[in-house]
Amino acid sequence: MRRPDPPNLSESRILIVDDQQANITLLEFVLGGAGYNQLTGTTDPRDGLSLCAAMNPDLLLLDLHMPHLDGFEFLQKLGSTLVEGTFLPVLVLTADVSVETKRKALAMGADDFLSKPLDTVEVALRVKNLLEQRWLHSQLQQHNALLESKVEQRTRELALAQIEVLGRLALSAEYRDDDTGQHTARVGTLSALIASALGLDATRVMLIELAAPLHDIGKIGVPDHVLLKPGALTLAERTIMQSHTTIGAEILGRSASPLLQLAREIALCHHERWDGLGYPAGLRGELIPLSARIVNAADTFDALINSRPYKKAWSQEEALREMRAQRGRQFDPAVLDAFLSLIQRDGLRNLANRVTVDSVTEEAVDTVVTMLRSGT
């Protein structure tokens, strides 16, 4: 494949650092004759470093044996003057053509050599080659930046799609016994608030907010005559209803995604109780995942204050009294205290009315993008 032709390189910024003014004059004459018009020279290498920082040259012509600061010391200090990622080709000017000198200069960042006395034709050719390398490197950087931008865009699109699919999946189960379909969103929002009040880091809080709405996904597998029964359930029916936890875990299981792993954990364990009398496994205390303990409190509060086919809505005060009574029994005391602190801070009305049904925040997308990038 033929490489692209570089543009007119006459505007390339070329810096010459040589302690002999005669050499600088010769190089300016040769390069000027070749069409280059942005030439700067200095006989003091100490000034050369500041010039590099100021003019951002496209090519550096550097003598090796100079007073105050020789070429090797110059190369050693050069990196600190350049913007990170900058490719500055260095053409070394030297009468010392020993293998040791060349190896040392190459190891310190030199790209090519010109032997003194200088051959004017060779000067023009090597300068042209190095400037073309600089241009090709710039093209590659631009191409990589474009690719990274496209990958970033596609990753964000994938993250947004994942969030929206999970949200719709949660709603598909919820619509079976909640005509509004807003219970899942409220539980997600309230769970995130509790998690934050407990001091969890922002990423974990966001993942809980995204995963919590899937807590009842297993209801998809519960028959209508049980799920929508207006009265009390028989023992057999209660067993069927309780199976929504294991059904949900099966639906969400075997995923490599941390988000779905967390959703599975919540779906399986959100009806476990602090005192060990919950289901499906009868886990007790801190054996219950913290995410599930958080969702237990959020789910219970929202279920109590909203009507369902089998119950009327409780008042918020009644719900709070019942939840306080269940501290250390159904609920983790620390989780319940965090929940109650939110009510004290925000008030019942504001807390109960926080709903985010169709909104996907940038923070949520950022969290999933980070997760996708890391491959976890």
Which domains, ranges and CATH numbers included, belong to the chain?
13-147 (3.40.50.2300), 175-374 (1.10.3210.10)
pLDDT for the residue numbered 306: 84
The pLDDT value given to residue 355: 46
pLDDT confidence of residue 164:
80
The answer on pLDDT for 110 being more than 50 is yes
| 45 contacts 17 by C-beta, under 8 angstroms | yes
Residues 86-99: what's their mean pLDDT?
A: 89
Distances (CA, A) of 19 to 41, 106, 355: 10, 21, 73
Cis peptide bond prior to 230, omega within 30° of 0: no
Q: Is 235 left (phi over 0), alpha (psi -120 to 50) or beta?
A: alpha
Q: Which residue has the higher pLDDT, 85 or 289?
A: 289
Positions of E strands within the chain: 13-17, 38-42, 59-63, 90-94, 112-115
- Return the sign of the alpha-carbon dihedral for residues 352, 353, 354, 355: positive
* Angle between helix 202-211 and 120-174 (nearest 10): 50
Per-residue pLDDT at 373: 73
Q: Say whether pTM exceeds 0.75.
A: no
Structure tokens at 257: 């995604």
pLDDT average, residue stretch 138-150: 86
Question: For 328, how many CA atoms within 13 A lie in the half-sphere containing its CB?
Answer: 1
Indicate whether 251 pLDDT > 50. Answer: yes
* pLDDT, mean of residues 10-26: 94
Determine the pLDDT at residue 353. Answer: 57
Residue 176's pLDDT band (cuts 50, 70, 90): low
Average pLDDT over the chain, rounded to whole?
Answer: 87
According to the model, what pLDDT value does residue 348 have?
63
